[in-house]
Structure 1
Amino acid sequence: MNKRLLVIGFVWPEPKSSAAGSRMLQLLEQFQSQGFDITFASTAKKSANTFDLSTLNIATQAIKLNDASFDDFVSQLQPDVVLFDRFMIEEQFGWRVAEQCPDALRILDTEDFHGLRKARELALKQNTELTTELLQNDTTKREIASMYRCDLSLIISEAEIEILTTQFKIDIALLCYVPFLLEPVSKAAQSQLPLFENRGHFITIGNFLHPPNYDAVLYLKQTIWPLIRKQLSKAELHIYGAYESQKVTQLHNEKEGFLIKGFAEDVNAVMKNAKVCLAPLRFGAGLKGKLVDAMQNGTPCVMSSIAAEGMFSFNACQTEPVEVSPEDNSNSITNGFIEDQAETFTQKAVELYTNGNLWKTKQEQGFKILENRFSKTHFTQDFAERIASLQSNIKSHRENNFIGNLLQHQTMQSTKYMSKWIEEKNS
């Protein structure tokens, strides 16, 4: 009999709408390769962009918040492993899983470090540096508590592992580095991409419901794009993203070449025809799917250090080390340039847009980065062995996680008793 995995999703996967949706499908593929039968459950409503999981032979189940029907469902399913999609889902369902399936391995997929993203957003709004006080916000406290309650947390960025282990002293035994799990771009595929001279505009892309993406579009509109247009008066910026609202569409201005294009049915089709990708993110966390999309389609980028974080630094899985330092990025191996000041960001954007030789060099570096940093073959075996080892040694693993045990004590389970109160109130 195959092992059983239950994934409790914050939303149903939408790989065409967000990097989170693409990553979820990558994780599902990895668990299937390990011999798991998968059930995906969520309280969210499905949308027109929801991926059809039945095409991957994955069962689906609609579930309810604050409702004992979930207890019956999970007790009957008896999964061997439960994956919580973001800490909010673990808060809502983790205690129910622990009660009904105490032997099931509990894994948190953080997607990105939400507490870090919140701290950077606060720093931006307050026009201050990121401080320890800002980093120790309520979101961080909730998220790290969730990590301790789980047996393993999947972390997408090495930079976030560094913060969690050094600043918050989390035992590395509770963390597992799992970035994007990709196929390298073959030489044949590279040769089919449009050439420099056949591409003709700038591009940026990102789900507009994600606050860092909307902020970046505003920053482009108000600060960077006017500087680029002073030097490239005929250039256009094509802006793609799912779920654009009126506040986004009203930024559209054909005279300025600032064009809101909305949802991209095929990100590869629009990315490969662009000459340069712009990613001036001023806050955020995790790895940026837009940079991966750009590298896969041979489109060099100009990006902020926050956008670049975790994308280019060295890790032990690389076959050929690729190193980058945001403090000294002029000669870094990236698929473009890392710049945080509007003037230098503009300078590098114009340079990439007009210099074919430089553009080709950066394009080739992007292909190498994908192969060296994110080829799934670097991670799949270690990931499978980590899961198997935890399942075999779950008792001792949990005994070594005293803080996790502490947080399971009834005096620490406010979310459990709040849920029970809501359930009773609704009955």
Structure 2
Amino acid sequence: MKKNLLIIGYVWPEPKSSAAGSRMLQLIEFFLNENYGITFASPCAKSDNAINLETIGVSQISIALNNSSFDGFIKELNPNIVLFDRFMMEEQFGWRVAEQCPNALRILDTEDLHCLRKGRHLALKDQKPFDNTYLFNDTAKREIASIYRNDLSLIISEVEMEILKNHFKVPDALLFYLPFILDEISEENTNKLPKFEERHHFISIGNFLHEPNYDMVLYLKETIWRPIRKQLPKAELHVYGAYASQKVNQLHNEKEGFIVKGFAEDVNEVMQQAKVCLAPIRFGAGLKGKLFDAMQNGTPSVTTEVGAEGVYGNFDVNGFIENNPEILAAKAIQLYQNETIWKEKQENGFSIINLRFNKKEHQNRFIEVVEQSIKQLKENRLNNFTGQMLHHHLLQSTKYMSKWIEEKNR
């Protein structure tokens, strides 16, 4: 019998624009390899940067919010699994999925913990240490409720696994650690990468619709780049990222060597040209795709504790982790000038990709859990009374609000 997966996307995947887009493509490729027929549906408008999923054998469907047309669509599709891309999509469509396809396994891909990112941002604005008073925000109430309503939630970072279990007391059975799943970097490929003396300048990259990335670039401009440029007057910082707004482009200053390049058509190409990746991220959550792009292309990085979270485990870092801006700048200069340290850090990055984020290992674990979850669906749901309770209240509130909006829009 053919296995069917429906993905309800918050946005259409843009793997060239964001780590979230790359993550979604990894999940799609995983299920294609397991012989699932895949339909990707989204209420979002499609941008020019979105990948055409039909070229890889995935059906694309536009769906509407607060519209009962979705009910007929999913009932006819009758998927074995429904994967929600971020909790906001589960809030909108989860109750409809539960009503029309009660036996479908419901999986939430959190992407990252939105409540963690929001809480850290608020703490930064208040210039106060981040603690549970910031973590337990309104977004957390929505996000944790969504995790309980689903049969399985994919968590991208070990740190976020611990936060969910220790701070929010979410049961282990509802959570599955699935980071980026990446191809192994062979020695043949590493030997083809540009060498230390062939690389020039610094790079920073990130989708500017993602607020932590704009904050990072502003922080580089106002605090970190000046001491680096003073020591390395011929060096430049090349800033790449999709959706650069006017406030981003205004940071461009050729005299200072602060060059805003905008969208990178090929992240591998621009990363391989650079000698050091700068990622002084001050708030955020999840795994930072820019650090993985750097490691895959042999480019050592300098980042913060927030940037490094969930990336390195017990492995030696592919660069340096510093929160103090003066020390961070000094480490960036050292990495840029010292070939011996640079090569050592580059090798660390290859090891991290191959040993911590090995595609085969994580895929094998994931398929086992998916198959087991399908077999034990009724039993697992009986053991999750909190999830049943939250579904009941969601049906009574969100369901009828949605129906009211639909009637109002007629």
The match for 1:301 is 301
Structure 1 CA distance, aligned partners of 2:365 and 2:333? 42
Q: What are the within-5 Å matches in structure 2 for residues 180-259 of structure 1?
A: 180-259=180-259
Question: Does structure 1 residue 52 correspond to structure 2 residue 52?
Answer: yes
Q: Is 1:386 matched up with 2:369?
A: yes
Query: After superposition, what is the alpha-carbon deviation per residue over 1:10-59, rounded to whole angstroms, capped at 9, x for unaligned?
Result: 00000000000011010011112222110000011111111011111111
Aligned-partner residue type, residue 393 of structure 1: Q
Q: CA RMSD in A?
A: 0.9
Equivalence for 2:402: 419
Query: What is the total number of aligned residue pairs between the two structures?
Result: 410
Aligned counterparts of 1:230 and 1:76: Cα–Cα separation in 2:
64
Aligned to 2:8: 8
Residue-by-residue CA offset, 1:266-298 (whole Å, 9 max, x unaligned): 000000010000000000000010000000000
What's the counterpart of residue 345 of structure 1? 328
Does residue 145 in structure 1 map to residue 128 in structure 2? no
Q: What is the identity, as a one-letter code, of the residue corresponding to 2:333?
A: V
* Residue pair 1:179, 1:374 contacting (<8 A) in 2 also: yes
For structure 1, the 5+ residue unaligned runs are 314-322, 325-332
Hey, what's the Cα distance between the residues in 2 that align with 1:126 and 1:295?
A: 33
1:290 counterpart = 2:285: no
Deviation at 1:390, TM superposition (A): 0.8
Q: Distance in 2 between matches of 1:153 and 1:137?
A: 20
Alignment partner, residue 389 of structure 2? 406
Give yes or no for the alignment of 1:83 onto 2:66.
no
Q: Distance in 1 between matches of 2:347 and 2:387?
A: 45
What is the CA distance between 1:220 and its match in structure 2? 0.2
Structure 1 residues 311 and 412, CA, compared in 2 at 3 Å: closer, same or farther? same
Is the alpha carbon distance of 1:337 and 1:413 closer, same or farther for their aligned partners in structure 2, counting shifts above 3 Å? farther
Q: Give the match for residue 164 of structure 1.
A: 164
Alpha-carbon deviation of 1:397? Answer: 0.2
Specify the alignment match of 2:338 in structure 1: 355
Shift of 1:412: 6.7
Give the whole-Å Cα distance in 2 for the aligned partners of 1:413 and 1:338.
48
Alpha-carbon shift at residue 76 of structure 1 (Å):
0.6
Identity %: 62
Say which of 343, 355, 377 aligns to 2:360.
377
CA contact (8 A) 1:407 1:413 kept: no
Matches of 2:390 and 2:286 in 1, distance apart? 26
- Is 1:101 the counterpart of 2:101 in the alignment? yes
- Identify the residue that residue 18 of structure 2 maps to in structure 1: 18
Counterpart residue type for residue 188 of structure 1: E
**Alignment check: 8 A CA contact 2:95 2:395 kept:** no
Structure 2, unmatched stretches of 5+, are: none
Map of 1:133 onto structure 2: 133
Give CA deviations for 1:315-359 in whole Å, capped at 9, x if unaligned: xxxxxxxx16xxxxxxxx010000000011011000000000100
Query: For the residues of structure 1 that align with 2:38 and 2:47, how far apart are their CA atoms?
Result: 21
Name the counterpart of 1:278.
Answer: 278
Is 1:406–1:412's contact at 8 Å kept on the other side of the alignment?
no
User: Does the 8 Å CA contact 1:271/1:294 hold for their aligned counterparts?
Assistant: yes
Asked if the contact 2:204–2:279 (Cα under 8 Å) also holds between the matched residues in 1, the reply is yes
Counterpart amino acid of 2:278?
A: L
**TM-score (norm. length: structure 2):** 0.99
1:79-135: per-residue Cα shift (whole Å, max 9, x none)?
010000000000000000000000000000000000000000000000001121110
